[in-house]
């Protein structure tokens, strides 16, 4: 096992180099690519969400907004869905690699929490590995830098929530996978995809920015970033579809059947990886965000819920939608990516440290969340 990752966290104490100047008036842009539903003459604490228009962004914005009192700043390369725009204080259409956009965020907002969700997923990243590196790694580094600068301004650590993935694991084949069972965070950190390499490296970058940033400088300021990361399993949502992932066969099977469309599954029926429904994924992220600092003993956590084979998902989908036309047409290359991911994860630290406790097991996920909500969605 290479790249053995040390997860203990230093007790970060942030100096307060600068306090925000109360009453500072920040000019608001009139760019057509930015919209705001409220104006500020004084900067109020804000939560920044990148990749806001993606699957996780949808779930997160709804939950944060339902909980009230969040000043949400959303950015995405595509315009945010209209119903989400109403739930944000400001939305920006743009690329996280765009320096000018990041400078504007820096100047206009006092950011205390960043959910950095923007990424190219595992299948898409294999088609354009260098572009994936730019978005997934350079983009993350720019956001970490923004977090450090924000923390200098307002004098407290910026919480940086980073979705990592089971793609950071790379088992050499099905025999090792079945023998490994529930993997721990430090096991098998030898990813075979660009996306997995990017996520694993960014976990280390987060640890570096949180604990060692500019460690040789006379004015080194450790603790500006409070980096917290979850390695998500495959995610299934009733209301959105993933795009560009390799665990997508599960949601694709389900959403196709619900729409009466045929589907050819690109992996064998016996392949098994961990999955979770989106509401539990969002709950875990929010629990980690609010966990007291002293309880967070690692930078990176596994979380699990259930781990069905593709065949078991097929059977549940067909039971809900009799006559569903689902066949198997394994794609050897995508299959080998899924074969390199663990069949389950050990999430004991997440359960102990921040109370991860998924509400949905496989049966409840289908009976009480996925099937009823998907029926409603496609009946409209």
Which residues contribute to the site for ligand SER (CB under 6 A)?
A: 121-122, 165-167, 195, 232, 234, 245-247
CB 309 within 8 Å of CB 245: no
Nearest distance in Å: CB 51, ligand SER:
13
Nearest distance in Å: CB 363, ligand SER:
22
The 3-state secondary structure of 19-33 reads CCCCCCCCCCCCCCC
Which CB atom, from 195 or from 266, has the smaller least distance to ligand SER?
195
Nearest distance in Å: CB 231, ligand SER:
8
Which CB atom, from 151 or from 247, has the smaller least distance to ligand SER?
247
Nearest distance in Å: CB 308, ligand SER:
15
Which CB atom, from 26 or from 77, has the smaller least distance to ligand SER?
77
Question: What is d(CA 68, CA 370) in angstroms, rounded to the nearest whole number?
Answer: 26
Q: What separation in angstroms does the CA of 78 have from each of 89, 90, 96, 278, 338?
A: 17, 14, 12, 21, 29
What tokens appear for 331 in the block? Answer: 């794609």
Q: Give every CB contact of residue 237 below 8 A, 6+ residues apart in sequence.
A: 55, 58, 59, 251, 277, 278
Which CB atom, from 232 or from 263, has the smaller least distance to ligand SER?
232
What tokens appear for 50 in the block? Answer: 């990148």
Which CB atom, from 85 or from 256, has the smaller least distance to ligand SER?
256
Nearest distance in Å: CB 158, ligand SER:
24
Which CB atom, from 15 or from 244, has the smaller least distance to ligand SER?
244
Nearest distance in Å: CB 73, ligand SER:
25
Q: Give every CB contact of residue 282 below 8 A, 6+ residues apart in sequence.
A: 56, 59, 60, 63
Instruction: Catalogue the E-assigned strands of 85-179.
Output: 90-93, 110-116, 158-165
Nearest distance in Å: CB 119, ligand SER:
9
First to last CA, the chain: 50
What tokens appear for 97 in the block? Answer: 């690699």
Nearest distance in Å: CB 302, ligand SER:
12
Which CB atom, from 54 or from 234, has the smaller least distance to ligand SER?
234
CA angle 212, 284, 120 (to 5 degrees): 70
CB 253 within 8 Å of CB 326: yes
Nearest distance in Å: CB 247, ligand SER:
4
Which CB atom, from 10 or from 241, has the smaller least distance to ligand SER?
241
Question: What is d(CA 94, CA 33) in angstroms, rounded to the nearest whole number?
Answer: 8
Question: What is d(CA 284, CA 46) in angstroms, rounded to the nearest whole number?
Answer: 21
Which CB atom, from 71 or from 123, has the smaller least distance to ligand SER?
123
Query: For 11, what's the count of Cα atoms within 13 Å in the CB-facing half-sphere?
Result: 1
Residue facing ligand SER at closest CB distance: 245
CB 90 within 8 Å of CB 35: yes
């Amino acid at each position: 096992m290479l790249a053995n990752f040390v997860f203990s966290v230093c007790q970060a104490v942030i100096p307060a180099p600068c306090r925000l100047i109360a009453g500072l008036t920040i000019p608001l842009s009139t760019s057509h690519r930015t919209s705001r539903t409220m104006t500020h003459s004084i900067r109020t604490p804000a939560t920044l969400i990148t990749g806001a228009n993606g699957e996780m962004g949808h779930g997160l914005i709804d939950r944060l907004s339902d909980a009230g009192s969040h000043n949400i700043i959303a950015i995405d390369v595509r315009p945010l869905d209209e119903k989400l725009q109403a739930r944000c204080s400001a939305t920006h259409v743009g690329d996280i690699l765009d320096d000018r956009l990041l400078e504007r965020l820096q100047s206009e907002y006092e950011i205390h929490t960043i959910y950095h969700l923007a990424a190219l997923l595992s299948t898409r990243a294999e088609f354009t590995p260098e572009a994936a590196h730019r978005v997934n790694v350079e983009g993350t580094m720019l956001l970490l830098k923004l977090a450090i600068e924000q923390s200098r301004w307002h004098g407290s650590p910026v919480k940086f929530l980073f979705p990592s993935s089971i793609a950071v694991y790379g088992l050499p084949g099905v025999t090792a996978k079945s023998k490994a069972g529930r993997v721990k965070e430090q096991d098998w950190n030898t990813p075979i995809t660009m996306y997995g390499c990017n996520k694993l490296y960014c976990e280390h970058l987060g640890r570096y920015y949180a604990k060692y940033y500019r460690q040789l400088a006379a004015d080194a300021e450790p603790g500006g970033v409070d980096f917290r990361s979850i390695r998500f399993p495959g995610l299934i949502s009733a209301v959105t579809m993933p795009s560009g992932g390799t665990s997508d066969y599960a949601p694709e099977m389900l959403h196709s059947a619900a729409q009466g469309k045929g589907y050819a599954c690109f992996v064998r029926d016996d392949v098994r990886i961990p999955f979770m429904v989106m509401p539990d994924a969002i709950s875990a992220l929010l629990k980690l965000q609010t966990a007291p600092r002293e309880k967070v003993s690692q930078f990176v956590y596994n979380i699990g819920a259930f781990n069905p084979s593709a065949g078991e998902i097929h059977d549940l989908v067909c039971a809900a939608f009799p006559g569903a036309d689902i066949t198997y047409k394994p794609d050897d290359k995508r299959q080998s990516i899924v074969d390199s991911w663990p069949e389950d994860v050990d999430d004991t630290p997440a359960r102990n440290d921040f109370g991860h406790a998924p509400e949905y097991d496989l049966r409840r996920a289908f009976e009480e969340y996925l099937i009823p909500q998907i029926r409603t969605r496609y009946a409209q």
